[in-house]
Structure 1
């Protein structure tokens, strides 16, 4: 299983069976939007045609349902941007900023953890244990959406280091590696990420976050949820909202109440039966 820690006001994830994939610039680590990009290759105009051809090939390999007018416009904007930047060898910083802006705006990230019992994460991400944790089936179809080249996505393990990875803008074949490298300080999260390119426009909400990014809520099937863990400080209102969502959406999962151990610095989980619907 992979786990998502959520505060009490995000009970809508269970109510609506939809969850946010977050752009890079809206993530809580400032290094997410400051990648160490090696732009030395961009100084050679001979590489421009190769890169444009790669983008054209990427488009041709997309599933037909992804070849929308909106996605084509995004691709054409990226091609035009690269053409402009290639003509200016002194635009290294501009290249980084613009590429990250494109990457961040149209790629969404779902951050998950391999642990359901990390005290720091319960404190930070569930509003001091007032929220809950969802245990997702890592083999569920929600994690296997096709990428632009038609391959299924899968959760990607985040690696942690004190040394920043250098990402070559052109020759690096794994473009998602830039999304799965984080400082060592974050290692306690045991994070795995699911990345989505060209987030479907029909799931864009009318809201923006504090960083000015659009909010996309991507639906998932009810069988993706295997377990739910309710924080020890959750209010009665939060608990009732969770119970009602499980029953309304026919979610077949185990539900646990959380309590602190009296002998160790760790959490205990006790499975409970849901109260009968009124």
Structure 2
């Protein structure tokens, strides 16, 4: 895909120097979120399924030697429930640690401008699709699930850790169908890119990007001229600008290039 888009808010046009979206834009940093930072209570929530006794027994039968003895002691003895609780907590912590950046493929979505760009007062960043590899979010009626023992098996050699990590990331790209209008994509900050983190703030982290990755800045329909001028003043001189206007048929939005 040639472009992806990030809707950005501006909550006040009177103190532009304090607007975090503009600070990040001018300092070439993007805000990557962890799942606890989302406004949707169910976003990236994953149900971790406890195993049945039969499932535990089947895993036990696959093991041998010390692994088999350790598994029996931890997960088939009197402390099994407590140990499963600890394991679930460690998995939840791992899912909480993922950092990702959310974008969309639609820059003229009226609901997105309303919800994420302060009712058309904000702006939208057009990202060069060649500079990133976002993955599409899947929308479904139910929250995703992960089998606890499948995750455990990756630590004792019955499954690969890469396979389980991939399964976890798939789960973090699932949202309920009511959010389908967003047409969302997500970029996972890989371990190899951790050096790009400028500041880790807990629920989110600021990540450095290259200014040439931005193809254009799109002004919201209601953005005042003084705010547009402020952005132009602080962006590189070769930046391209567009604005959102009401479409010619009056029933939607469209982009208009600016001189």
Rounded to whole Å, the distance in 1 between the matches of 2:247 and 2:196 is 45
Distance 1:196 1:202, change over 3 A: closer
TM-score when normalising by structure 2: 0.73
CA deviations 1:36-78 (Å, max 9, x no partner) are 222328957859x99xx9xxxxxxxxxxxxxxxxxxxxxxxxx
1:35 Cα offset (Å): 0.7
Which one of 113, 121, 142 corresponds to residue 112 of structure 2? 121
Distance 1:223 1:258, change over 3 A: same
Distance 1:101 1:261, change over 3 A: same
Secondary structure of the equivalent of 1:30?
coil
Distance 1:194 1:33, change over 3 A: closer
Verify: 1:266 aligned to 2:252, yes or no.
yes
Larger radius of gyration: 2
Rounded to whole Å, the distance in 1 between the matches of 2:42 and 2:169 is 15
Rounded to whole Å, the distance in 2 between the matches of 1:18 and 1:103 is 23
Distance 1:125 1:84, change over 3 A: farther
1:136 Cα offset (Å): 0.6
Rounded to whole Å, the distance in 2 between the matches of 1:241 and 1:260 is 23
Structure 2 counterpart of 1:231: 220
Distance 1:5 1:40, change over 3 A: same
Rounded to whole Å, the distance in 2 between the matches of 1:237 and 1:46 is 68
Distance 1:33 1:268, change over 3 A: closer
Structure 2 counterpart of 1:7: 9
TM-score when normalising by structure 1: 0.68
Q: Is the 8 A contact 1:261 1:268 kept in 2?
A: yes
Rounded to whole Å, the distance in 2 between the matches of 1:123 and 1:232 is 11
Between the two proteins, the alignment pairs up a number of residues equal to 221
Q: Is the 8 A contact 2:47 2:146 kept in 1?
A: yes
Cα root mean square deviation, aligned: 3.2
Verify: 1:205 aligned to 2:199, yes or no.
yes
Q: How does 1:70-81 map to 2 (within 5 A)?
A: none
Rounded to whole Å, the distance in 1 between the matches of 2:74 and 2:219 is 52
Structure 1 counterpart of 2:98: 107
Rounded to whole Å, the distance in 1 between the matches of 2:240 and 2:251 is 24
Alignment gaps of 5+ in structure 1: 54-82, 144-153, 274-278
Alignment gaps of 5+ in structure 2: 11-18, 68-72, 152-158
